Amino acid sequence: MAEILLAARGITRTFGGLVAVNGVSLELERGAVHAVIGTNGAGKSTLINILSGELPASAGSVELLGRDVTRLSQPSRALLGLGRSYQRNTIFPHFTVAENCRLAAQARRQRPWAVWESAARCADAMPRARAALERAGLADDAERLAGSLPHGRKRQLEIALCLATQPRVLLLDEPLAGMGAEETERMLALLAQLKPDHAILLVEHDMDAVFRIADRITVMVNGTAIASDRPDDVRANPDVQRAYLGAGH
Amino acid sequence: MTRPPMRNTARQTTLALLVVAALAALPLFLGTYEVDLVAKILVLAIFALSLELLVGQTGLVSFGHAAFFGLGAYTTALLLQDPDPRSFWLVLAAAMAMAGLYALPVAALSLRTRGVYFIMVTLAFAQLVYYVFHDTKVAKGSDGIYLTGIPQFSLAGWVPFDITKSLPFYYVALVLLCLVYAFLASLGASRFGRALAGIRANEQRMRAAGYATYPYKIAAFVIAAMLAGLAGFLKATRDGYVNPEMLAWHESGAVLLMIILGGLGRLRGAVIGAFAFVLLQEFFKNDAVFGDFAKRWQLLLGITVIACVLLLPHGLVGLSAQLRRRGNRDG
Amino acid sequence: MDATTFLVQCLNAVQYGLLLFLVASGLTLIFGAMNIINLAHGSFYMVGAYMAYALAPWVGQYLGGGFFTTLFVGLVLSIALGYVLEWGFFSLLYEREHLQQVLMTYGLILIFEEVRSILVGDDVHGVAAPDWLNGSIALGSLMTYPVYRLFISAVCLLVALGMYLVLARTRLGMAVRAGSVNREMAQSLGVNVNLLYRVVFAAGVALAVLAGMIAAPVSSVYPGMGGQVLIICFVVVVIGGIGSVRGAFVAALLVGFVDTFGKVFFQEAAGVLVYVMMAAILLWRPEGLFRQG
């Protein structure tokens, strides 16, 4: 029986008269990658922002680890085990790679009133940060300034920052954005490694990568999910072929 | 620019101690006018440090910080309308508390806005207090009020000196400056401080990691306000007089300029900036140097402000690094 | 309060609000189009008022003109001033952080104040309205209302209408709105963004100067007027929504009414009321009443 870590039901979001997301439901299982694909303007960004808590839904519910988080803010969901990476890096460029992760890891045990304790000596955050760096393959870059990393490694750091808070669910927004072939391979290998312990939502444009790694694909067109199936079934789906993949595929 | 946690702490601490020692020894070599001038700078340095926490550390550009400075000063003045002396500590605490009390709703409302809105809104809230003191009968309006009493500095019943006198005030200001500096240094390196730095660097990532950034920012705002109130208390104590111009936006602009001049993101930038600003002002007002044109010191100040922003992006603190980089490029 | 007094106060509120709109619209246009926060905007208002005072004798002597000629000369000068300022100073502000813009324009205020002090001094002056506008019209049987104040309101309304037509109906207006959304996009659409910015900036300056000039007979001419109007304009822009001219219009009238009637009912606390209102609106709508776009 699959362990459902995140369940979204009937997510709808309107902006004035515009319906950006229309009744989308999906589930994220532990050990599976669920990809969401669609053309620009299909509502993918809006959907992921609603799941992460950055945008309130007009209707529908979000359940994280069995708990209704629909009204919870993003930081609250993060503390419950939701991690998110962004299409544009949200790293701290002027801090070292290690400090980047330490700061993210510190979120689990913030203790803001302890003004006499130096953060760098914090015994709980540093190990978690190092573990995240190891997983993301950045252990050797720990003392480099994050802003000096090449683009591919910055994207890896973006993932490491998610992992530093030890989330159960990962929402990844175009992690492959701007990557060359070699970097893409490395990132896909990383995602494959992360799969067993996490439930992953992947928004991506790189179709080859999506079909390689996804266990389930939801296709969005104009805010509606027109298909949500295993990759082969999605590929064979005539509606999807018509609306999105085009004759060339 | 925010740096990772302090490096070379030993060297920095030694340097800091040397500066403190020099400042402590200063009155032995200077006349009363100069001592009073440096004391004035020390108070402004506390004011500048308080804003550095807000702008430099947390990235919240407030253009209304003078409100808290002025509130601290006015609280002090209003509590000292009786000739009977009042406890230094009590008045100090009251000044900081009033500043903090106003800061709470201002922060809660202003921090709902971002960017330029925030700048304008903080300015507006400062104007609010300005008008309260300028127009209403709360404190004799635009004439200002004189302090009739003095804060009595006593330690367990012993009154070592009269704090309104030049030398005692100088040393009390110096000690308080050191305490505030040490407090902010410790705060900056603490989890709270690093969280603020993270909020400044990338608030989105902080929220994604699980930090509720709004309460953090409010806390930074209130702490900064209380420290500004402390500076206001000192100013009122020394001058024996307060007036609404202390809350005017020119004051907010001046303190903002101080921390830019010194260099954002560094505590010592605030102190250096305070020194540089006051000394520059004194220089521009000096008619021995500028003759009649000394009356036009605001013009020179305005040009300096613009030149500083254009030519010294990292302030005086960053000047050596800037020159080094320029040297590397040419050499 | 009886009906005629109420009417008088309403007319005052409208006049004050419309004047504020004139100044604030320049501020919000410049911010909306070029993303620049300009603290020196109040100084332009002050410049306008002092121009009305200082240019009048000169215009009278050399051009043989009166009030309207002075207005015209002032406007021409202000457009030239705006053009030069944008080219020489404000173009340095684009792409800079808001903090740097705040400080640089703050420095500009100091320079403006001092230059004005050198050129015209620090005295308070009155400016005479033209004779044919100097009378009063009767309201009911007991009260009269100054014609000049009605003139101010009329001018402001005309300008507001003109602004609406330009922004909504002309290519220039479209360019302004496009440029405010995305500079690169506007450029790729063939808009000469540099020229556009210069035009918008000059227009913003001209609006503030015009406001200062026509306000001079009513509010007199004094050194601190720039700072005073600036901060109220900030409140108007915050309430209305940065970049929204429509928002500035509504907010300016709102401020006009709260301030005018506040002075009637609360006297001392009147100055504070506008800020309290701003606080209340922020509680409800942190981005202003009419968000841009």
Q: What token pair was written down for A126?
A: 């540093």
Residue owning tokens 């100054």: C146
Q: Do the Cβ atoms of C99 and B249 come within 8 Å?
A: no
- What integer pLDDT is reported at residue B102 of this predicted model? 97
Task: Give the CA count within 13 Å in the CB-facing half-sphere of A144.
Answer: 13
Is the pLDDT reported for residue A116 higher than 90?
Answer: no
Q: How far is C212 from chain B (nearest CA, A)?
A: 21
Instruction: Provide mean pLDDT across the span C130-156.
Output: 83
Q: Are A68 and A128 contained in the same domain? A: no
CA distance B11 to B7: 9
Interface test with B, best of A48, A49, A54, A74 (most B CBs within 10 A): A74
Higher-confidence residue of C264 and B220: namely B220
Q: Where are the domains of chain C?
A: 3-284
Cβ atoms of residues C221 and C227 within 8 Å: no
- C-beta neighbour count of C12 within 10 angstroms: 22
Residue A141 class from Cβ within 10 Å (0-12 exposed, 13-18 middle, 19+ buried)? buried
- What integer pLDDT is reported at residue C181 of this predicted model? 64
Picking from B5, B3, B37, the residue whose alpha carbon sits closest to that of residue B23 is: B37
CB proximity B4 to A under 8 Å: yes
The secondary structure of B141-157 as a DSSP string is: GGG-EE--S-EE--BTT
pLDDT (tens digit per residue) in C63-101: 777 788 888 999 999 999 999 999 889 888 888 888 899
How many domains in chain A?
2
Q: Which residues on chain A place their C-beta less than 8 Å from a C-beta of chain B?
A: 52, 54, 73-76, 78-79, 83-84, 86, 90-96, 99, 103-104, 106-108, 110-120, 122, 161-162, 164-165
pLDDT (tens digit per residue) in A183-204: 899 999 999 999 999 999 999 9
Picking from A130, A108, A110, the residue whose alpha carbon sits closest to that of residue A119 is: A110
Q: How far is B282 from chain C (nearest CA, A)?
A: 16
Q: Are A216 and A152 contained in the same domain? A: no
Residue A19 domain boundaries: 1-81+169-249
Which residue on chain C is closest to B293 by alpha carbon? C118
Residue C83 class from Cβ within 10 Å (0-12 exposed, 13-18 middle, 19+ buried)? middle
Instruction: Provide mean pLDDT across the span C281-292.
Output: 80
Residue A170: beta bridge partners?
A83, A200
Q: Are A69 and A188 contained in the same domain? A: yes
Strands (E), chain C: 136-139, 143-146
Q: Are A157 and A42 contained in the same domain? A: no
Q: How far is A74 from chain B (nearest CA, A)?
A: 6
Run of H or E residues at C161: helix C147-169
Q: Of B5, B208, B210, which has the smallest distance from its Cβ to A90's Cβ?
A: B208
Q: Do the Cβ atoms of A120 and B216 come within 8 Å?
A: no
| CATH, residue A52 | 3.40.50.300
Is the pLDDT reported for residue C293 higher than 50?
Answer: no
Instruction: For chain B of 331 residues, list the mean pLDDT of each consecutive stretch of 10.
Output: 56 88 91 92 97 96 96 94 87 96 95 89 92 85 86 80 87 96 94 95 96 96 98 94 92 93 92 94 82 81 90 84 72 45
Q: Do chains A and C touch (3 or more CB pairs under 8 A)?
A: no
Q: Of C100, C113, C275, which has the smallest distance from its Cβ to B127's Cβ?
A: C275
Cβ atoms of residues B140 and B146 within 8 Å: no
Is the pLDDT reported for residue C179 higher than 70?
Answer: no
Is the pLDDT reported for residue C269 higher than 80?
Answer: no
Q: Of B131, B137, B306, which has the smallest distance from its Cβ to C104's Cβ?
A: B306
Q: Do the Cβ atoms of A119 and B194 come within 8 Å?
A: yes
Cβ atoms of residues A102 and A121 within 8 Å: no
Residue C145 DSSP label: E
Is the pLDDT reported for residue A242 higher than 90?
Answer: no
- C-beta neighbour count of A239 within 10 angstroms: 12
Cβ contacts (< 8 Å) between B110 and chain C: which residues? Answer: 282
Q: Which of A166, A190, A223 is the last residue of a domain?
A: A166
- What integer pLDDT is reported at residue A249 of this predicted model? 43
Picking from C190, C18, C37, the residue whose alpha carbon sits closest to that of residue C104 is: C37
Instruction: Provide mean pLDDT across the span A97-117.
Output: 91
> What's the predicted TM-score (pTM) here?
0.91
Instruction: Identify the band that residue C282 occupies on the pLDDT scale cut at 50, 70 and 90.
Output: confident
pLDDT, chain A, mean: 90
Q: Are A33 and A148 contained in the same domain? A: no
Cβ contacts (< 8 Å) between B198 and chain A: which residues? Answer: 92, 103
Percent of chain A with pLDDT over 90: 64
Higher-confidence residue of C35 and A31: namely A31
Q: How far is B54 from chain C (nearest CA, A)?
A: 13
Q: Of C99, C268, C287, which has the smallest distance from its Cβ to B136's Cβ?
A: C268
CA distance C164 to A74: 41
CA distance C149 to A211: 72
Instruction: Provide mean pLDDT across the span C225-246.
Output: 90
Cβ contacts (< 8 Å) between B265 and chain A: which residues? Answer: none
Cβ atoms of residues A100 and A146 within 8 Å: yes
Q: ∠ at Cα B224 (B16, B14), nearest 5°? A: 5
Instruction: Provide mean pLDDT across the span C143-163.
Output: 90
Q: Where are the domains of chain B?
A: 9-249
CA distance B124 to B129: 9
pLDDT (tens digit per residue) in C9-28: 999 999 999 999 999 999 98
Instruction: Provide mean pLDDT across the span A3-24.
Output: 91
pLDDT (tens digit per residue) in A49-63: 999 999 999 999 999
CA distance C1 to B292: 55
Q: How many CB pairs under 8 A join A and B?
A: 104
Higher-confidence residue of B129 and C290: namely B129
- C-beta neighbour count of A208 within 10 angstroms: 10
Q: Do the Cβ atoms of C268 and B137 come within 8 Å?
A: yes
- What integer pLDDT is reported at residue A245 of this predicted model? 58
Q: Of B187, B189, B211, which has the smallest distance from its Cβ to A110's Cβ?
A: B211
Q: How many CB pairs under 8 A join B and C?
A: 120
Picking from C96, C77, C78, the residue whose alpha carbon sits closest to that of residue C38 is: C96
- What integer pLDDT is reported at residue A246 of this predicted model? 55
- What integer pLDDT is reported at residue C180 of this predicted model? 66
Q: Do the Cβ atoms of C104 and B63 come within 8 Å?
A: no
Is the pLDDT reported for residue C171 higher than 90?
Answer: no
Q: Do the Cβ atoms of B61 and C109 come within 8 Å?
A: no
- What integer pLDDT is reported at residue A92 of this predicted model? 95
pLDDT, chain C, mean: 87
Instruction: Provide mean pLDDT across the span C198-213.
Output: 93
- What integer pLDDT is reported at residue B329 of this predicted model? 65
- What integer pLDDT is reported at residue A237 of this predicted model? 86
Q: Do the Cβ atoms of B260 and C99 come within 8 Å?
A: yes
Q: Of B135, B298, B306, which has the smallest distance from its Cβ to C271's Cβ?
A: B135
Q: Do the Cβ atoms of A103 and B213 come within 8 Å?
A: no
Cβ contacts (< 8 Å) between A111 and chain B: which residues? Answer: 191
Instruction: Identify the band that residue A247 occupies on the pLDDT scale cut at 50, 70 and 90.
Output: very low
